[in-house]
Amino acid sequence: MYTLEEIDRILENSARLSTISREPATLYEPLDYMMSIGGKRIRPKLCLLTANLLSDDFRNPLIYPAMALEVFHEFTLIHDDIMDRSDTRRGCPTVYKKWNENVAILSGDVMSILAYKYLAYAPQAVLPQVLDLFTTTAMQVCEGQQYDMDFETQPFITMDDYLSMIGLKTAVLLACSAKMGALIGGASKEACAALYDFGYQLGIAFQITDDYLDTFGNEKVFGKKIGGDIVNNKKTWLLVECLRRAAGEQKQQLEKLLQLGEDRRQEKVEAVRGLYVELGVREAAADAILVYHKKAMDALAASGFDPARTRVLAQFAEELIHREK
């Protein structure tokens, strides 16, 4: 079994296969740029980790489908940043900002296709299943992004709405990553299903953690200004739960705060944060993360692999939700 550090090194070495110098430069430079500005490589990592449950044999063909997940993820980020008008990501200018919108649209497009180029390296015996899994997931991610955008103009969404949305926007891709490694490794149908569920629940925990850190994280570590989600009235787990809990005066206070603009950013962030603490939302979020983490661990146990082998995956899951950025 590989350790997490060894998996990281395998991925670092494979980063070179994703950065392709090709013509025209204006099309491919943004790809290299995106792949170079960091990113935790969570999705390919998860794919390699589940494959490792079956075997230590990481011949090249596995790396390509694993990196397909990363390339696809980066494509969604490039396009999301256009749609959200985001200027920075990971502390650096977004492709949209650094170049322009047309470049961001087209280089994103070519990345979504490049993902399939890498995916096609999957062993022929499982290629149809791998394709089906990936394509279904990719469409779900688009659906999740659409719901996320639709929710922006809805004053109120339920927690079920939120969970469905992040399920599509975030969790299915981690689920796909986990299942893909298992599929390629030759795991049973039941084990694949369990690992999909593991990835999915972990994905929910991961997103709620992301929401939590945006408001309560450490700015220096997080790499971006705290409170961005509050400023943008983003329907995070925190806001959805707060809207659910707030009543009477606090509800009115919250509605007023949501009206505040960029010019009263500081005041808005501090006040909404305060409300989250006051209403027990902060604590509830921390609890929710643990609930989904536990569901993930249960799914992992149900996959049928020896705990000695699943230990590294458990460590990965732990680090994902106890990270500071």
By CB under 8 A, name the binding residues for a second copy.
Answer: 22-24, 26-27, 79, 82-83, 102, 105-106, 108-110, 112-114, 116-117, 120, 124, 127-128, 131-132, 135-136, 138-139, 142-143, 145-147, 149-150
CB of 188 to a second copy, least distance (A): 21
Place of tokens 């536990």: 294
Shortest Å, Cβ 135 to a second copy: 5
Residue-wise DSSP of 183-217: HHHT--HHHHHHHHHHHHHHHHHHHHHHHHHHHHS
Q: How far is the CB of 305 from a second copy (least distance, A)?
A: 29
Helix (H, G, I), strand (E, B) or coil at 89: strand
Residue 77 or 242: which CB sits closer to a second copy?
77
Question: Is 88 strand, coil or helix?
Answer: strand
Per the CB < 8 A criterion, the answer to whether 46 and 4 are in contact is no
Minimum CB distance to a second copy smaller for 137 or for 303: 137
| CB 28 to a second copy: min, Å | 9
Residue 87 φ/ψ, nearest 5 degrees: -90, -30
Return the number of the residue (111 or 320) whose C-beta is nearest a second copy. 111
Q: What DSSP designation does 153 have?
A: T
- Minimum CB distance to a second copy, residue 307 (Å): 36
- By beta-carbon proximity to a second copy, the closer residue of 106 and 260 is 106
Query: For a second copy, which is the closer residue by CB, 2 or 116?
Result: 116
- Write down the least CB distance from residue 105 to a second copy, Å: 6
The least CB distance from residue 104 to a second copy, in Å, is 9
Q: What angle do CA 255, 258, 259 make, to 5 degrees?
A: 95
The tokens for 30 are 């943004």
At how many degrees (to 10) do helices 127-152 and 101-119 cross?
150
Q: Which is nearer to a second copy, 147 or 212 (CB)?
A: 147
CB of 97 to a second copy, least distance (A): 16
- What does each C-alpha distance from 65 to 118, 131, 250 come to in angstroms? 5, 10, 49
* Residues paired with 93 in a beta bridge: 88
Structure tokens at 126: 């499982």
SS3 state at 167: helix
Burial class (CB in 10 A: 0-12, 13-18, 19+), 301: middle
Of 23 and 306, the one with the shorter C-beta distance to a second copy is 23
Which residue's CB is nearer to a second copy, number 151 or number 198?
151
Would you say 69 and 180 are in contact if contact means Cβ atoms under 8 Å apart? Answer: yes
- The candidate with the shortest Cα–Cα distance to 173, out of 43, 294, 295, is 43
